């Protein structure tokens, strides 16, 4: 397989002026421009500098202070470093990164000034960032165990949903008769919040985790199912015709043509399912668990430890961000053909 074009050189020369243009294009301009710190980026650094200065040198109001090492100081110091590293790593997303960190920095600064330094609100309900971040130091072990428990339930339920819903939906979307029967049922049943099945799941299944996995599975199943069926049903007829002219066997047709053609819709269903899964998980844990992120928040809530409640919320948000990041990566890779864009 020679890479060098032989008799075909003339083809490249003659035809497709458009094709050639595609090669040069943008991209290069971005790469060439050097790294300079703009006004907005400087503002972000300035805000974090102010925050650091405040946290390090000005003592908190008595009711809002913590004893021992200050984890928030560490966070306030690490965030600007992360910011600069991100700017260097992903220059295309510069504006996005800057805006994001600007928001984050302002939020932390306002939080620190109003609650930590000025103590303007009831310290019982509104803890300072120092107190909230101190929870991570104190409770990291119980949080870690909770994360493991939450993630194992989340992943098992969600993956089970994927594995069951996608093949079933492919088949049903492909067969008109099955579709006509199943789709109205799916439409009626899918909006029912999955947590209503929880009492039955707890009674019928041996352990709490298996019951939670089941409920998560139900919650994940419907959006994926509906997304996939829709995807199959909306495949461009012309692409299907092109595939038909190849005389494919049915299983090849389903796996190599129908599934990839429906994949964008499968992913939009799977995204909804993932978000649903987080909500379902938290609610399920709040009701019956003895460990996990949702349980932690609910438990601390009952004891009115609001600093711990907020810490739990931050941890949960961080987990969501991390999971969604991985999900996005997978989606971008699987659909790389779709928005491949011109070079």
Partner 1 sequence: MARLGLKDITVSYGTNGKRTTALHNINLNIEDGDFVSLIGPSGCGKSTLLDLVAGLRTPSSGQVLIDGHEICGPGPDRGMVFQDYSLFPWMSALENVRFAVEHSWARTDKDESLEIANRYLDVVGLSSFRHKYPNTLSGGMRQRLAIARMFAMNPEIFLMDEPFGALDSLNRVFMQDILVRLWSKDAKRKTVLFVTHDVDEAILLSDKVVVMTPTPGKIKEVVKVPFSRPRKRQSLFVSQDYIILRSKLLARFSEEMQKDLEKQEKELITWSI
Closest to partner 1 by CB, 22 vs 180, is: 22
The whole-angstrom separation of Cα 153 and Cα 131 is 30
The binder of partner 1 chosen from 63, 181, 234, 338 (CB under 8 A): 338
CB of 244 to partner 1, least distance (A): 5
The whole-angstrom separation of Cα 314 and Cα 308 is 10
CB of 296 to partner 1, least distance (A): 42
The binder of partner 1 chosen from 166, 182, 254, 257 (CB under 8 A): 257
**Contact status, residue 56 vs residue 73, Cβ threshold 8 Å:** yes
The reply on whether position 250 binds partner 1 by CB under 8 A is: no
Which residues 6+ apart lie within 8 Å of 271 measured at CB?
327, 331
The reply on whether position 28 binds partner 1 by CB under 8 A is: no
The binder of partner 1 chosen from 29, 39, 188, 340 (CB under 8 A): 340
Binding mask 5-24 for partner 1 (x = CB under 8 A): xxxxxxxx-xxxxxx--x--
Contacts 24+ apart (CB under 8 A), 260-264: 261/231, 261/232, 261/235, 261/236, 262/170, 262/173, 262/228, 262/231, 262/232, 262/234, 262/235, 263/231, 263/334, 263/335, 264/231, 264/335, 264/338
The reply on whether position 206 binds partner 1 by CB under 8 A is: no
The reply on whether position 95 binds partner 1 by CB under 8 A is: no
Q: Under rule CB under 8 A, how many of the chain's residues touch partner 1?
A: 44
CA angle 329, 335, 338 (to 5 degrees): 135
Residues of this chain that bind partner 1 (CB under 8 A): 1-3, 5-12, 14-19, 22, 236, 238-239, 241-249, 252, 256-257, 260-261, 263, 336-343
């Amino acid at each position: 397989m020679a890479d060098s074009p032989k008799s075909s050189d003339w083809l490249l020369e003659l035809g497709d002026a458009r094709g050639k243009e595609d090669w040069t294009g943008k991209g290069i301009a971005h790469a060439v421009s050097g790294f300079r710190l703009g006004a907005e980026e400087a503002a972000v650094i300035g805000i974090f500098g102010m925050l650091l200065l405040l946290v390090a040198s000005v003592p908190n109001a008595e009711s809002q202070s913590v004893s021992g090492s200050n984890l928030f100081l560490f966070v306030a110091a690490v965030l600007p470093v992360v910011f600069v590293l991100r700017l260097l790593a992903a220059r295309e997303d510069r504006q996005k990164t800057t805006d994001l960190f600007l928001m984050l920095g302002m939020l932390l600064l306002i939080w620190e000034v109003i609650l930590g330094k000025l103590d303007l609100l009831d310290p019982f309900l509104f803890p300072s960032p120092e107190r909230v971040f101190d929870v991570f130091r104190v409770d990291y072990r119980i949080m870690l165990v909770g994360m493991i428990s939450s993630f194992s339930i989340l992943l098992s339920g969600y993956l089970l949903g994927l594995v069951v819903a996608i093949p079933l939906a492919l088949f049903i979307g492909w067969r008109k008769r099955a579709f006509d029967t199943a789709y109205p049922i799916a439409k009626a049943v899918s909006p029912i919040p999955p947590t209503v099945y929880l009492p039955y799941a707890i009674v019928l299944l041996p352990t709490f985790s298996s019951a939670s996995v089941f409920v998560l599975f139900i919650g994940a199943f419907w959006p994926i199912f509906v997304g996939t069926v829709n995807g199959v049903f909306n495949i461009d007829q012309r692409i299907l015709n092109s595939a038909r002219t190849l005389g494919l066997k049915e299983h090849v047709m389903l796996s190599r043509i129908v599934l990839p053609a429906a994949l964008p819709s499968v992913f939009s269903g799977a995204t909804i399912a993932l978000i649903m899964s987080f909500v379902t998980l938290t609610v399920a844990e709040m009701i019956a668990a003895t460990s996990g992120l949702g349980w932690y928040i609910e438990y601390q809530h009952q004891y009115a430890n609001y600093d711990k409640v907020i810490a739990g919320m931050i941890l949960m948000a961080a987990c969501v961000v991390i999971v969604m990041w991985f999900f996005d990566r997978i989606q971008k890779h699987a659909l790389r053909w779709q928005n491949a864009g011109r070079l």
